């Protein structure tokens, strides 16, 4: 898209202070899109970290910010800017917390998404890129996962909430002619990763010389995707939406290369130079055995092309983590 056209296409990003959202806002602003950010600074993890996430762009002249709760649909009326497209990343994440608080996930994921869709209808916004999850595939035995597979057998409230949002999106596409792409993310990692996620959590414990909890025998596998590759996929999704009408698609944004849990721990150890202390624990309810993305559709549809290997991404994450750790010690 030409630079002058980008300046006219304002993109609203929900969850802009989060891990993926902050990286996306930086990229959008770098390539010339004005950005409106929304975040409620949910205390699921440190608000200080979220403020740090925004440090690189919160004063950008083409960025404006609203702190509001998407569960309260009326608060969206505070947004005054004319928006051309919404990237909806906000919501409650995490499989295990969703088992303890299913209603919270229904509110923050399903109800909040409905509020976004209603807001789009009222404002005449026709384009939505929605953050779904590989969790919708459950323990599907057919791998790699393709977008046309049956996803009726989710095994956590989190996964249910994401599948429900995909269905909700389709109903609004059908009823109101909204152009929507559901993007199924596969275990995104890299600098600014949420502290509850395994790579971040494990390295933090290892640096403190504390045992890391390993559920099962280390044979579970995840299709780890470096954050810059995910952001590139989101950007390409936005450009696809701008260029096309009457769109409803679902795509996998993964790396198509699963890494076993034991391999992931070994990679952290090798990259950080710290040997882990392992605390073996039984598998937990809601955890899937593996995720593995078939990315052919995303390659064909939007030109998605992940470039970072797991090893390259791990090196960049560990470098970032050590910088943050040193800053905290100095402070």
Q: What is the DSSP string of 166-178?
A: HHHHHHHHHHH--
pLDDT of residue 330: 37
**269 found inside a domain:** no
Establish if 277 belongs to a structural domain.
no
Contacts of 41 (CB under 8 A, 6+ apart): 17, 47, 50, 67
Please answer whether residues 116 and 14 qualify as being in contact, where contact means their C-beta atoms are separated by less than 8 angstroms. Answer: yes
Residue 99: count of CB within 10 angstroms of its CB: 16
**In Å, how far are 11, 72, 75, 175 from 118, measured between CA atoms?**
17, 12, 12, 12
pLDDT value for 282: 83
| 270 inside domain | no
Question: What pLDDT is attached to residue 281?
Answer: 85
In DSSP terms, 124 is beta-bridged to none
Dist. CA 321–CA 203, nearest whole Å: 8
Q: Is residue 274 part of a domain?
A: no
SS3 321: helix
Residue from 137, 158, 226, 304 carrying the catalytic annotation: 158
Q: If you compute the radius of gyration of the chain from its CA atoms, what whole number of angstroms results?
A: 19
Question: Does some domain include residue 264?
Answer: no
Q: Which residues contact 61 (CB under 8 A, 6 or more apart)?
A: none
Query: Residue 247's pLDDT is what?
Result: 97
Q: How far apart are CA 59 and CA 135, in angstroms?
A: 35
212 - beta bridge partners?
278
Where in the sequence is the domain holding 218, given as residue range(s)? 3-258+284-330
Nearest of 213, 216, 233 to residue 225 by alpha carbon: 233
Q: Give residue 43's pLDDT.
A: 83
For residue 108, which of 42, 183, 170 has the smallest C-alpha distance?
42
Helix (H) or strand (E) run with residue 251 in it: strand 248-253
Helix/strand number for the chain, H first, E second: 12, 13
Residue 29, Cα to own-chain centre: how many angstroms? 18
Task: Classify residue 293 by its DSSP letter.
Answer: B
pLDDT averages per 10-residue partition of the chain, 331 residues: 70 98 98 97 88 95 97 95 98 92 97 98 98 96 95 96 98 98 97 93 94 86 97 98 98 96 96 94 80 97 97 97 67 42
Catalytic residue flag (residue 176):
no
Q: Which helix (H) or strand (E) holds 58?
A: none
Number of structural domains (the chain) is 1
Q: What is the pLDDT of residue 326?
A: 64
pLDDT at site 216: 78
Could you write out the DSSP letters of every residue in 161-210?
Answer: HHHHHHHHHHHHHHHH--EEEEEEE--EESTT--TTSHHHHHHHHHHTT-
Query: Does residue 266 form part of some domain?
Result: no
278 occurs within a structural domain:
no
Query: Looking at residue 67, what is its pLDDT?
Result: 97
Q: In CATH, what number is assigned to the domain containing residue 17?
A: 3.40.50.720
268 found inside a domain: no
């Amino acid at each position: 898209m030409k630079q002058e056209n980008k300046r006219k296409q304002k993109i609203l990003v929900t969850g802009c202070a989060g891990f993926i959202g902050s990286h996306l806002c930086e990229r959008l602003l770098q390539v010339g899109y004005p950005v409106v950010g929304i975040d409620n600074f949910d205390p699921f993890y440190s608000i200080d970290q979220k403020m740090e996430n925004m440090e690189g762009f919160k004063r950008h002249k083409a960025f404006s910010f609203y702190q509001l709760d998407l569960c309260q649909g009326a608060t969206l009326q505070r947004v005054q800017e004319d928006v051309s497209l919404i990237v909806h990343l906000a919501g409650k994440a995490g499989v295990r917390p969703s088992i303890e608080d299913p209603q919270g996930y229904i509110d923050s994921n399903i109800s909040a998404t409905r509020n976004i869709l209603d807001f789009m209808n009222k404002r005449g916004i026709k384009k939505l890129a929605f953050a779904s999850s590989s969790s919708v595939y459950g323990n599907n035995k057919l791998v790699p996962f393709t977008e046309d597979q049956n996803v009726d057998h989710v095994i956590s409230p989190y996964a249910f909430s994401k599948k429900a949002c995909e269905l909700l999106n389709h109903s609004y596409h059908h009823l109101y002619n909204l152009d929507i792409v559901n993007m199924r993310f596969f275990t995104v990692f890299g600098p600014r990763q949420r502290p509850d996620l395994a790579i971040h959590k494990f390295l933090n414990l290892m640096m403190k010389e504390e045992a890391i909890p390993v559920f099962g025998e280390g044979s579970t596998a995840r299709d780890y995707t470096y954050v810059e590759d995910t952001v590139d996929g989101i950007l390409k999704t936005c450009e696809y939406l701008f260029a096309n009408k009457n769109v409803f698609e679902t795509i996998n944004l993964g790396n198509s290369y699963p890494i076993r849990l034991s391999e992931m721990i070994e990679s952290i150890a090798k990259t950080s130079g710290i040997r882990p202390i392992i605390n073996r624990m039984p598998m937990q309810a809601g955890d899937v055995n593996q995720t593995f993305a078939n990315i052919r559709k995303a390659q064909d549809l939007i030109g998605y092309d992940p470039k970072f290997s797991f090893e390259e991404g791990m090196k960049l994450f560990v470098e970032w983590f050590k910088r943050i750790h040193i800053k905290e010690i100095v402070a």
